[in-house]
């Protein structure tokens, strides 16, 4: 008999202005992937996002904050790429902190709900 999959509780935090999502889970994951890969195209592939969608999210990120969160690099042996700026790293770190704090805050209520979940 296969082991039952664990229940995972993930809060989804989005900061919005009107209909525009300034930062949310997808944009945070994209920033992290760009930081790791040095490329928007590679980052998009890593997280299962189209290159065009990734560029759209980068544009929104760069337009929404006081400075760019991602900058393109051109030329060289690697034919360019992208880097997450210090501001981008700061925004990402603060967003991840918000996620961690919200996960800790919801644990007492989740433990009470978990007791009501049907066992497999």
Which pLDDT tens digit goes with each residue over 44-84? 999 999 999 999 999 999 999 999 999 998 765 556 799 99
Check if the beta carbon of residue 74 is closer than 8 Å to that of residue 80: yes
HSE-up of residue 52 (Cα within 13 Å, Cβ side): 0
In terms of pTM, does the model score above 0.85?
A: yes
70 and 53 Cβ atoms separated by less than 8 Å: no
Number of CB atoms found within 10 A of residue 63's CB: 11
Residues in the chain: 120
């Amino acid at each position: 008999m296969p082991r039952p999959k664990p229940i995972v509780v993930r809060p989804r935090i989005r900061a919005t202005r009107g209909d525009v999502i300034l930062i949310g889970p997808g944009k945070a994951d994209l920033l992290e992937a760009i930081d790791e890969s040095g490329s928007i195209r590679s980052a998009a592939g890593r997280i299962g996002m189209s290159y065009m969608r990734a560029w759209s999210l980068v544009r929104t990120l760069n337009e929404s904050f006081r400075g760019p969160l991602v900058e393109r690099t051109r030329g060289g042996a690697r034919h360019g790429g992208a880097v997450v700026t210090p501001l981008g790293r700061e925004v990402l770190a603060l967003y991840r902190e918000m996620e961690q704090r919200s996960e800790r805050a919801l644990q007492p209520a989740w433990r009470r709900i978990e007791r009501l979940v049907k066992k497999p």
